[in-house]
Amino acid sequence: MNKPILMIPGPVDPPAEVLRRCGMPVFPHYEGDFPAFYHRLTEKMKYVFGLSDGRVQIPGGSGTTAVNMMLASLCTPEDSVLVIHNGSFGDYAQRNLDCIGVPNSAVYAEHGSVVDPEAVREKMHSGNHGFIYATHNESSTAVLTPLRPLGEIAREFDALLLVDGVSSVGGAVIDMDGSGADVVTGASQKCLELPPGLAPVAIGPRAWDYMREMDNRSVPYVLDFMLWEWSLEERGDNHPGLTTSPTTMLYALDWMVERIREEGIEARQERFQAAGRQLKDDLAGFGFTAPVDQSCASPVLTEFIMPKGMSAADFRSYCMTEHNLMLGGGSRSNSDGGIISFRIAHFGRAAESERTELLVRIAREFISSRMT
């Protein structure tokens, strides 16, 4: 298989040390040194989520696994969830809720913008919603949703704030303690810079209190936060995870979490943001535009619109065929239905100057070839 240079919103090109650790001989997920290692890692992960009082669990799986654990563990067909919908992952949330029979409604924002908190408050007044669901980093539109206003509204209505942080955990400040997020889901293959395969989830104290008071919980075994907690508490000395743990992946995650703690999550977000600002400045010189208002722009990826009359599909194809570099697709279209946008990640190795400078050179080359 051809291995392209990745500047897509995920998966990423992991650092060499991550790949080395993932490729180490497999060690068991019980007894020996692993249980103590796992306990230490889940405590370290609290820093990434900005959580002081609560629990981090690290099951194997995708970001979808983490999201479904969150919904299945807390939401029932007797509940109602208000979904913050400003991109394709709002649709994704509602599909997941529909699959488990949980009533839901949405409050919408235009493509490339955030939902007005007052619209959320109005929806909460008009419906009996026990949960607010938000996608922190809406990677389909390159928008970062502020969590603190939603956390305040959730508490105002005695609701829980559930957050899809799949594309922000490890790359953007989440601050569960300060923002009021009650559960946040993650994934290993994006800002945590690992291959796909881990689905970390952070659960705050209000969510734990809520689950303990739920009647007639009926949750699939592997998706149940309470059973994962039971495993950690009751057999944590020899089998802390509920299921078989991907041990080498966890060993790689431990290394990455140490790097994040050393750098600081605020500094890490600023580094990725700075790479994005530089790309926007450089590509603007060739006629590319970044339409999202900077007050809500994602710090880890950007959606660009092509210069007038040019095709995003042509540009992405040129990057791949001529330079083996892969960009993410976009969803903005012109009056004829042609796609005119694409997305560039600027986190992890995609934020390295060698890669961003390569992309700028390719853009210059592409535009020049179309002007002759």
Average pLDDT over residues 208-232: 95
372, pLDDT greater than 80: no
User: Amino acid identity, residue 307?
Assistant: P
What are the tens digits of pLDDT across the range 26-38? 999 998 999 999 9
pLDDT-above-70 percentage for the chain: 100
Distance CA 214, CA 28 (A): 35
Where in the chain is CATH 3.90.1150.10?
Answer: 5-9+264-371
- Three-state SS string over 33-93 comes to CHHHHHHHHHHHHHHHHCCCCCEEECCEECHHHHHHHHHHHHCCCCCCEEEEECCHHHHHH
pLDDT band, residue 2 (cuts 50/70/90)? confident
Q: What pLDDT is recorded for position 272?
A: 98
Q: In Å, how far are 69, 74, 246, 261 from 223, measured between CA atoms?
A: 5, 11, 16, 29
Distance CA 94, CA 133 (A): 10
What are the tens digits of pLDDT across the range 103-148? 999 999 998 999 999 999 999 999 899 999 999 999 999 999 999 9
Whether 38 and 170 have beta carbons less than 8 Å apart is answered as: no
In 150-270 the beta strands, taken as DSSP E runs, fall at 160-164, 183-185, 197-198, 201-203
| Radius of gyration (C-alpha) of the chain in whole angstroms | 21
In the chain the beta strands, taken as DSSP E runs, fall at 5-7, 55-57, 60-61, 81-85, 104-108, 131-135, 137-138, 143-144, 160-164, 183-185, 197-198, 201-203, 301-305, 325-329, 341-345
Q: What pLDDT is recorded for position 216?
A: 83
Mean pLDDT of the chain: 96
Q: What pLDDT is recorded for position 193?
A: 98
| Cβ-proximal residues to 60 (8 Å cutoff; 6+ apart), any chain | 197, 198, 199, 243, 244, 245, 246, 249
371 compared with 141, residue with greater pLDDT: 141
| Range of lowest pLDDT (95-99, 240-244, 336-340) | 336-340
Average pLDDT over residues 39-54: 98
What are the tens digits of pLDDT across the range 314-329? 999 999 999 999 999 9
Phi and psi at residue 174, to the nearest 5°: -105, -45
Average pLDDT over residues 255-281: 98
Q: In residues, how long is the chain? A: 372
The DSSP code for 25 is P
Phi and psi at residue 68, to the nearest 5°: -70, -30
pTM for the model stands at 0.97
Where in the chain is CATH 3.40.640.10?
Answer: 16-261
301, pLDDT greater than 70: yes
Distance CA 316, CA 312 (A): 6
Count of other CB atoms within 10 angstroms of residue 292:
20
Distance CA 240, CA 259 (A): 24
Q: Which of 89, 225, 109, 52 is nearest to 168 (CA)?
A: 89
Whether 120 and 150 have beta carbons less than 8 Å apart is answered as: yes
Count of other CB atoms within 10 angstroms of residue 36:
12
The DSSP code for 11 is S
Distance of CA 309 to the CA centre of its chain: 33
End-to-end CA distance of the chain: 34
CATH number of 5-9+264-371: 3.90.1150.10
Q: What pLDDT is recorded for position 227?
A: 97
Q: Which CATH class is domain 16-261?
A: alpha beta
Q: Which helix (H) or strand (E) holds 100?
A: none
What are the tens digits of pLDDT across the range 155-179? 999 999 999 999 999 999 999 999 9
CA atoms within 13 A on the CB side of 25: 1
What are the tens digits of pLDDT across the range 331-357? 999 888 899 999 999 999 999 999 999
